Amino acid sequence: MLDREGFRPNVGIILINARNEVFWGKRIGEHSWQFPQGGIKYGETPEQAMYRELHEEVGLLPEHVRIVGRTRDWLRYEVPDKFIRREIRGHYKGQKQIWFLLRMAARDCDICLRATDHPEFDAWRWSQYWVPLDAVIEFKREVYQMALTELSRFLHRGQRAPLSPYGNHHAGTHGNAGRAGGQRAGRQGPGNAPAASQPSPTLTQPEAPVCVQTRSTDD
């Protein structure tokens, strides 16, 4: 399901713990890390899609989290052609996303990466709030920056995340872009993306359907 401009409606999830560290997942069979995200199906609201993706990718139920905030507008990024299937090139451009900030209300062991037959991640960790900006593939970085910055205002007083090292894309700058249909990240290739600032944890590959967890943090 694409909009007129070729963007697929999508939700992104920033899951935080009591220390305002973020859930950071390693894509299955790859060396890349990202936040949970997924497409909005026909007839779904963004919130319904968020809860579905949360269960499919992280194994959590609505009662395991609390919605802290969400972005006001769609945030968009374009996907380089090398990552697009040949048959949809020229039609599909990328993703437009509503981002949700969720606070964990469950135990770490409630996270289960094999809640479905098609898992997205094969390892996970808690990372400091801004670490994903250095670790995510480059064409998603600007959207991550906008989402993390806008949603950081919802963090507990006294526990606010430090200022972004990439500058301030505050929610207040959304104005014209929001009225035009959401902010858009520039079209960038991943070739010059910096290496992740944290080492990969030792991966656990359990027999389904047990939970997977790596408890390392970025200190």
**What are 127-181's pLDDT values in tens digits?**
999 999 999 999 999 999 999 999 999 997 556 566 666 655 443 333 333 333 4
Does residue 13 form part of some domain?
Answer: yes
The pLDDT tens digits for 68-102 are 999 999 999 999 888 887 767 778 889 999 999 99
- Is 168 exposed, middle or buried (CB count within 10 Å of its CB: 0-12, 13-18, 19+)? exposed
Does residue 213 form part of some domain?
Answer: no
- Is 163 exposed, middle or buried (CB count within 10 Å of its CB: 0-12, 13-18, 19+)? exposed
Does residue 191 form part of some domain?
Answer: no
Query: What confidence score (pLDDT) does residue 81 get?
Result: 82
Range of the domain at 14: 7-185
Query: What confidence score (pLDDT) does residue 186 get?
Result: 46
pTM of the model: 0.76
Does residue 211 form part of some domain?
Answer: no
The pLDDT tens digits for 108-141 are 999 999 999 999 999 999 999 999 999 999 999 9
pLDDT band at 47 (very low <50, low <70, confident <90, very high): very high
Does residue 1 form part of some domain?
Answer: no
Average pLDDT, rounded, for the chain: 81
Does residue 52 form part of some domain?
Answer: yes
Give the total number of structural domains in the chain: 1
Does residue 201 form part of some domain?
Answer: no
Does residue 212 form part of some domain?
Answer: no
- CATH of residue 46's domain is 3.90.79.10
